[in-house]
Structure 1
Amino acid sequence: MPLEGPSPQPGDLIEFIRTLYQHWGVYVGKGNVVHLTDQEGFSSLSSALGGTAVVREDPIEIVAAGCIYRVNNKYDQKRRPYAPEKIVNSARREVGKKMKYSVTSANCEHFVTELRYDKAFCDQVDNAKTYATGGLLLAGAIGAIAAFSMQKNRQKQ
């Protein structure tokens, strides 16, 4: 799948649109991204099972693996990004390092946003928490309605 939107510039955050999640990297120029991934370089999703990940620099097309990807500097309105050369240099210094991985607090989006903004953000985690809380509330409400309905039916009999 092709790039969606403008061409990346060094220091840009790249969002890779996967089926169930997004993978993130920092564009470092010459067609490469630095990203937090599993040992084989496929994605951060398999890292979740092992609790560790590695920082790699790979060609953007290989990381995309057929998925759509795009520049997504979505936090630029909230935080001032570092200069592109600082982002790129910081990202490249991390290449080869093994890191603790946590879906909720130390994932690929946290990694790249910290490089760009000096603060880790992850909407995926925040959105999942919101949906999970909303889902639990909805399930509880449905359960309460069902219990009330069953009680009413028993009273009629």
Structure 2
Amino acid sequence: MSFCSSITSHNAKVLKELEIGDLVEFSRHFYNHWGVFVGNEDIVHLIGCKNDWISGVQFIGEAIVKKENFWKVADGCKTKKNNSKDKTRRPRPPYQIERDACASVGKTENVHFLLNNCEHFASYLSYGKKSSDQVSLGSLLLGGAAVAVVGIFGGLLAGALILNSKIKENRDDESNDTTYIEEYDFRTYSWGSSYRYG
């Protein structure tokens, strides 16, 4: 079985199990797109107005709420039913989710990939509160990377300050008849010192 046909059969199974009000996650290359299942193989989702380079994603700007066929939204990407937020939040009744989702079709919203994206929109319909786990995870990863970068540069700065103080000590000692030499031994990975008398 080819890769494409395995995705198609996987998505057909997901579609068969969907119930009205379920959140659906569409795996894209660099992010996951989200929508709400409203029955009849239809998904209501927030999508960028411009036809951007990653399946309609728009990082900042205007987006529109559309009601489209599941297969069109999937666009050959793997999908999954994702109601994982049900563990920490109480979902609204399915008829309210469907009603509000369909009422929002055609409306435009300003989107921002961190503050108001397609996952925020789908989460709001389902739980009455906007949230995005992929933004939270991204922020956590970026924060960890920032800490690592600060740690590396902090270590380099500390090393440079120590080296600078050793050079200064050598210069101060050069004014005497005795020269103090501090050398780094790359074989033992340690500093060594010696004195030369003038």
Q: Same fold by TM-score, threshold 0.5 exceeded?
A: yes
* Match status 1:115 vs 2:125: yes
Work out the CA distance in 1 between the residues paired with 2:17 and 2:29.
23
Work out the CA distance in 2 between the residues paired with 1:146 and 1:7.
55
Deviation, 1:147, is 2.7
Could you tell me which residue of structure 2 aligns to residue 37 of structure 1?
47
Contact 1:37 1:43 in 2 (8 A): no
Aligned length: 155
Relative to structure 1, the CA distance from residue 43 to residue 88 in structure 2 (aligned partners, 3 Å threshold; closer, same or farther) is: farther
Relative to structure 1, the CA distance from residue 84 to residue 75 in structure 2 (aligned partners, 3 Å threshold; closer, same or farther) is: same
Work out the CA distance in 2 between the residues paired with 1:106 and 1:9.
25
Equivalent position to 1:15, from 11, 25, 36: 25
Q: Give the letter for the 1:30 counterpart.
A: N
Deviation, 1:74, is 1.2
Equivalent position to 1:101, from 106, 111, 114: 111
Work out the CA distance in 1 between the residues paired with 2:23 and 2:141.
25
Between the aligned residues of both structures, percent identity stands at 32
Tell me the C-alpha RMSD between the 2 structures.
Answer: 2.0
Within-5 A mapping of 1:48-63: 48-49=59-60, 51-63=61-73
Deviation, 1:60, is 1.0
Please give the TM-score of this superposition, normalised by the length of structure 2.
0.71
Work out the CA distance in 1 between the residues paired with 2:55 and 2:116.
14
Could you tell me which residue of structure 1 aligns to residue 170 of structure 2?
none
Please give the TM-score of this superposition, normalised by the length of structure 1.
0.89
RCO (CA 8 Å, sep 6+): is it higher in 1 or 2?
A: 1
Could you tell me which residue of structure 2 aligns to residue 84 of structure 1?
94
* Match status 1:72 vs 2:71: no
Work out the CA distance in 2 between the residues paired with 1:82 and 1:48.
28
Work out the CA distance in 2 between the residues paired with 1:43 and 1:86.
28
Work out the CA distance in 1 between the residues paired with 2:114 and 2:156.
33
Q: Give the letter for the 1:25 counterpart.
A: G
Equivalent position to 1:25, from 18, 32, 35: 35
